[in-house]
Amino acid sequence: MTKTNLSRRQFIQTAAAATGGLMLGFHIPVSKAAISMAKPIASMPEGVEINAWLSIDPSGLVTIRIPHTEMGQGGITSVAMLIAEELDVEWAKIQCVFADANRHVRNNKEYIVMSTHGSQLVRLQHPHLMQAGASARERLKEAAAQAWGVQRSALEAKQGVLRSGNRTGTYAEFATAASKIKLDKEPAIKTPDQWTLLGKPKQRMDIPHKVDGSAQYAIDTRIPGMVYAAVKASPAPWGTLKSYDFDAIKNRPGVIAAVELKAVPGKRGQPDMQNAVAVVADSWWRAKTALELMPIEWDAGVAAKTSNSSYYAEGRRALDTKGTITKDDPKAIEIIAASKKVISADYERPFETHARMEPINATVHVQKDRVDVWSPTQDQSSAVLLVAEQLNVDPKNVFAHTMYLGGGFGGNGAGGTAVTRQAAEISKQVGRPVKVLWSREEDIAQDKQRPMGLARLSASIGENGLPTAVFTRAAWFTQDKMNQVGPATADYPIFEMPYKFPQRHHDRHNLFTHIPSSTHRAPGANQMGFMQESFIDELAIAGGWNPLDWRIEMTKDLPDYQLVLKTLKEKAGFRTDLPKGQGMGVAVVECHGTIAAACATVTVSRRGELAIEKVVIVLDAGHVINPHAAAEQAEGSVVWEMSHAWLGGLELEKGQFTNTNFDTYNLMRINQAPQVETYFASSGGKKWGGLGEPAGPPTPPAVANAIWYATGKRVRSTPFVSHDLSWT
Amino acid sequence: MALSLDINNATHSVDVEPETPMLWVLRDTIGLTGTKYGCGIAACGACTIHLDGQPVRACQTPASAAVGKKITTIEGLSKDKKHPVQQAWMEIGVPQCGYCQSGQIMSAAALLSKRRDPSDLEIDAAMSGNICRCGTYQRIRQAVHLAAKKSNL
């Protein structure tokens, strides 16, 4: 349970206080809201609200309000499944709409949590979502029990029908009465052995909207009277705007205004604005073209001296000096210093960017008595608060509309990035609804990036070929103290390595950069997993061990690791004796409570061309509620991580990024994508891990380890494409 | 200057600069938002539409170049998601975030109009201009094969 979860007692009070069926989208044209449903319906649902999460209409149609966002991770379907499991209703009788973020804020976090991040929708939110369904079911039963003069315990509720002896009635018949019932005690939610719906694969409910162009993303928002803004912020983040010449472009067709946006000194968090200038016009194309033609002068300040190579040099120097200790066994350093056999290696990774396919955008309409916001955020309730703060208005008057997200990947949290503030500010200044859209170049240049990082790993090897002590030192480039301990930069995978090292020393440096950082799918694990698990192969092989057997041996007291690694051994057929040019590699990384292991099979041509043939993934998340969506997430995570490790890497020159579109910042394409096979080795019990991210981190090291077997070359930095992998 | 465009079998008269990319004419002038902006430089394929049946990137196609041609967008590919590619996409559950999928589907539909039963290599060649950041590639490959089967029934 999270801190934000309510106790049962609080739950009853909260649910009882929620009266009135405020449906999503009542104040905007229905066709413009992102609505998802199990089957098409002609109009917005009417019905009786049983609690904030659901209503039932006279035909028995259940409308579930989804407090979370849909980025393709199956959030809509997961919430519907969790509630339907308890409510016990026909799957075909369910439709979903997004919950109202304003209601959540106005009614003191009515939906408990609206943010969607950290692979936590299912693992952390399932108790209160299932509770909402269970509570509604018991209230329906109580309403029927009272009408029929029987005890509630004598009633059965199944697939939308209430039954006691010969008497039957539908949920719809008793919905109105149930909405007035207060339960003395909330029912317990089902345990996994009682599930009938959860755990079985379900096709995602959002898919039909995503094959005909009808799914509405924030970028698709169209409001009567709307104008468009293109924005340019300082190319070197946090630089200052020296001058711009609006006169040079103001007579171009459709151009309306230029608006200067100012960073607030000291405010450099995820949703804070850079110094920037916007051009507003009657179409985005006209705004963007005019902006590109407008003379603008920037001052990058001291950041102008930074580059990838200056940062790597600084990071390498840091690896030679003592850092802040995260774990320190008394003899670790001593043992390594005295050992005859020590393996040591340095690893490096550049900045990476989210590059969600939907470029960053937001539409805001500032009106006299209310503000409406359409933004691609992973947390629409934060968007309400963010805009309220920016405009200094009461959050009760801010309405954030949940839209489908064209990818999130950790980059759209905290209310949807600085673009939301920009749109609020511009709408206020021009007095019209405005859609701010960042060009792809702006999207990459101004993203909150995954930090650049380096690490040194050393270990001493004993008689049996196993390590006697381990030493690691990480160095991260982060923008400020706030981010130094945040998950974006956490080296937890290293200092929490599951392997039974007799002695260990871990420390780290936080080095300053002006580049803003943020969470990035599988934060921490995504960078460190590669460094840690590549080094583990170096260590195991130096000790004469098969790397998979080494991992099994070094986690022998951890049953969940044993389950995952032994399943991988059985499913992947890992072998070390393939002909040169072919190789297999393994790795295991824990992230968001889930253990993920990967086995990659690669071929490398003599000329050094890499092909990733296949990746087998084994996951232990404890439980899996929708294996279909979970497998999709594993497949996607593999491609996501390999994109960065193989092809990615932002290039910084004079304080600004130079590869800011897909011709130079390369992402994996279909001809490069491996076949992914996913297996769930679920340990069950009280463990609930996330599934949206963890399959990513073990993939790059599995591929790097496979490359070593194929070529004899050890890849210690990314992107792999920058290494000569040729062999003879 | 008003241009006359034939989009999804309807004639639209639009008043835009002739060099305006079709992407913005479709999205902002006409309101067909199914065609997506991804990169603006024809490097990602999110804006793929058909001009006389040929797949093109709308972000690099000036409106003037589309005059006199039959323009098809995702909204005009079929009525009620009946195109075999759309059917296969739903059956396999291809889309995740879905943002790139209009472009993926338009590329796949154009491929199948030329190749009844494409091989994996042909699929890779025809589809490698379309980036999917969610990484749905293996399902795309599977769904193109399924769509080919459905088309040949």
Q: Is A355 on the interface with B (CB under 8 A)?
A: yes
* Better-predicted residue by pLDDT, A492 or A691: A691
State the DSSP string of A17-66. Answer: H--S---TTTTS-GGGS--EESS--SS----EEEETTEEE-TT-PEEEEE
* Better-predicted residue by pLDDT, A541 or A402: A541
CATH architecture for residues A308-352+449-722: 2-Layer Sandwich (3.30)
**Which whole number is the average pLDDT over B96-118?**
97
Beta strands A167-170 and A161-164 are antiparallel
Question: Which pLDDT score is estimated for A485?
Answer: 46
What does the pLDDT look like over A20-68, one tens digit per residue?
Answer: 222 322 223 333 334 443 333 334 556 899 999 999 999 999 999 988 8
Nearest to A721 by CA among A661, A657, A667: A667
Q: Is A663 on the interface with B (CB under 8 A)?
A: yes
Are A101 and A24 within 8 A, CB to CB?
A: no
Torsion on CA atoms A361, A365, A370, A371, rounded to nearest 10: 10
Kindly report whether the peptide bond that precedes residue A579 is cis, defined as omega within 30 degrees of 0: no
Question: Which pLDDT score is estimated for A524?
Answer: 86
Contacts of B139 in chain A (CB under 8 A): 632, 635
Is A669 in Cβ contact with B39 (below 8 Å)? no
Does A480 score more than 70 pLDDT?
Answer: no
Cα A625 from chain centroid (whole Å): 18
Question: Which pLDDT score is estimated for A45?
Answer: 57
Taking CA atoms, A597 is separated from A489, A495, A543, in Å, by 22, 18, 22
Locate the chain A residue with the closest alpha carbon to B121: A671
Amino acid B57 reads R
Domain A8-210 is in which class?
Answer: alpha beta
* Cα–Cα distance for residue pair A713/A107, rounded to 1 Å: 59
A65-79, A241-255, A278-292, A445-459: least confident range? A65-79
Locate the chain B residue with the closest alpha carbon to A644: B133
Question: Which pLDDT score is estimated for B153?
Answer: 67
Are A298 and A459 within 8 A, CB to CB?
A: no
Question: Which pLDDT score is estimated for B38?
Answer: 98
State the DSSP string of A605-673. Answer: -TT--EEEEEEEEEEE-S--S-HHHHHHHHHHHHHHHHIIIII----EETTEES--STTTS----GGGP
Please tell me whether residue A553 adopts helix, strand or coil conformation: helix
Q: Two tokens at A554?
A: 């070094």
Q: Two tokens at B122?
A: 């042909």
* Cα–Cα distance for residue pair A709/A336, rounded to 1 Å: 27
Cα A234 from chain centroid (whole Å): 27
Taking CA atoms, A647 is separated from A237, A331, A441, A490, in Å, by 24, 40, 18, 23
Is B130 in Cβ contact with A213 (below 8 Å)? no
A123-137, A309-323, B64-78: least confident range? A123-137
Q: What is the ipTM of this complex?
A: 0.98
Tracing tokens 């005009």 back to the chain, one arrives at: B76
Torsion on CA atoms A690, A691, A697, A700, rounded to nearest 10: 170
A53-67, A245-259, A435-449, B108-122: least confident range? A53-67
The count of CB pairs under 8 A between chains A and B is 179
Contacts of A357 in chain B (CB under 8 A): 36, 38, 44, 46, 97, 99-100, 131-134
Residue A290: CA count within 13 A, CB half-sphere: 30
Tracing tokens 């009070």 back to the chain, one arrives at: A13
Contacts of A471 (CB under 8 A, 6+ apart): A332, A333, A336, A456, A457, A458, A459, A504, A505, A506
In DSSP terms, which residues pair with A414 in a beta bridge? none
What does the pLDDT look like over A492-509, one tens digit per residue?
Answer: 778 889 999 999 999 989
Nearest to A270 by CA among A483, A475, A114: A483
Q: Two tokens at A169?
A: 């009635």
Question: Which pLDDT score is estimated for A34?
Answer: 40
Tell me the three-class secondary structure of A184-226, residue by residue.
Answer: CCCCCCCCHHHCCCCCCCCCCCCHHHHCCCCCCEHHHCCCCCC
**Where do the DSSP E strands lie in B42-142?**
48-51, 54-57, 70-72
Amino acid A459 reads A
Minimum-distance CB partner of B124 among A211, A662, A670: A670
* Cα–Cα distance for residue pair B115/A105, rounded to 1 Å: 54
Taking CA atoms, B140 is separated from A10, A201, B122, in Å, by 46, 19, 13
What is residue B5's DSSP assignment? E
Residue A270's pLDDT band, with cuts at 50, 70 and 90, is confident
Is A209 in Cβ contact with B132 (below 8 Å)? no
Question: Which pLDDT score is estimated for A272?
Answer: 86
Question: Which pLDDT score is estimated for A413?
Answer: 72
Nearest to A668 by CA among A595, A606, A596, A721: A721
**Which whole number is the average pLDDT over A295-314?**
97
Residues 437-456 on A with a CB inside 8 Å of B are: 437, 439-440
* Cα–Cα distance for residue pair A469/A462, rounded to 1 Å: 9
| Structural domains for chain B | 2-76 (3.10.20.30), 84-151 (1.10.150.120)
Q: Two tokens at A528?
A: 């460190």
Is B97 in Cβ contact with A358 (below 8 Å)? yes
Would A8-210 and A308-352+449-722 be classified into the same CATH topology?
yes
Contacts of A670 in chain B (CB under 8 A): 123-124, 127-128, 130, 132, 137, 140-141
Is A404 in Cβ contact with B97 (below 8 Å)? yes
Is B75 in Cβ contact with A207 (below 8 Å)? no
Domain range list for chain A: 8-210, 218-301+360-437, 308-352+449-722
Buried b (16+ CB within 10 A) or exposed e, A683-711: beeebbbbbbbbbbbbbbbbbbbbbbbbb
What does the pLDDT look like over B42-98, one tens digit per residue?
Answer: 999 999 999 999 999 999 999 999 999 999 999 999 999 999 999 999 999 999 999
Beta strands A453-461 and A36-37 are unpaired
Is A404 in Cβ contact with B98 (below 8 Å)? yes
Sign of CA dihedral B70, B73, B74, B80: negative
What does the pLDDT look like over A589-609, one tens digit per residue?
Answer: 999 999 999 999 999 999 999
* Cα–Cα distance for residue pair A525/A508, rounded to 1 Å: 15
**Which whole number is the average pLDDT over A152-174?**
96
**In this structure, what are the phi and psi dihedrals at residue A271, rounded to the nearest 5 degrees?**
-95, 20
What is residue A522's DSSP assignment? S
Question: Which pLDDT score is estimated for A2?
Answer: 33
End-to-end CA distance of chain A: give it in Å, rounded: 56
Does A352 score more than 70 pLDDT?
Answer: yes
A376/chain B closest Cα distance in angstroms:
12
Does A7 score more than 60 pLDDT?
Answer: no
Count the Cβ atoms, other than its own, within 10 Å of residue A369: 6
Contacts of A380 (CB under 8 A, 6+ apart): A69, A98, A101, A114, A400, A401, A402
Question: Left (φ > 0), alpha (ψ -120 to 50) or beta: where does A245 sit?
Answer: beta
* Better-predicted residue by pLDDT, A236 or A11: A236
Global pTM?
A: 0.94
Nearest to A587 by CA among A497, A479, A666: A497
Residue A378's pLDDT band, with cuts at 50, 70 and 90, is confident
* Cα–Cα distance for residue pair A190/A131, rounded to 1 Å: 9
Buried b (16+ CB within 10 A) or exposed e, A179-188: bebebeebbe
Are A80 and A92 within 8 A, CB to CB?
A: no
Beta strands A453-461 and A467-478 are antiparallel
**Percentage of chain A surpassing pLDDT 70?**
91
Nearest to B130 by CA among B54, B52, B57: B57
Are A284 and A435 within 8 A, CB to CB?
A: yes
Maximum pairwise Cα distance, chain B: 47
* Cα–Cα distance for residue pair A24/A40, rounded to 1 Å: 17
Cα A112 from chain centroid (whole Å): 19
* Cα–Cα distance for residue pair B35/B47, rounded to 1 Å: 5
Residue A101's pLDDT band, with cuts at 50, 70 and 90, is confident
Domain A218-301+360-437 has CATH 3.30.365.10: yes
Q: At what angle do helices A699-711 and A627-642 cross, to 10 degrees?
A: 50
Question: Which pLDDT score is estimated for A269?
Answer: 75
Q: How many residues does chain A have?
A: 728
* Better-predicted residue by pLDDT, A103 or A536: A536
**Percentage of chain A surpassing pLDDT 90?**
76
Q: Is A664 on the interface with B (CB under 8 A)?
A: no
Buried b (16+ CB within 10 A) or exposed e, A404-430: bbbbbbbbbbbbbbbbbbbbbbbbbbb
Is A661 in Cβ contact with B38 (below 8 Å)? no
Are A503 and A332 within 8 A, CB to CB?
A: yes
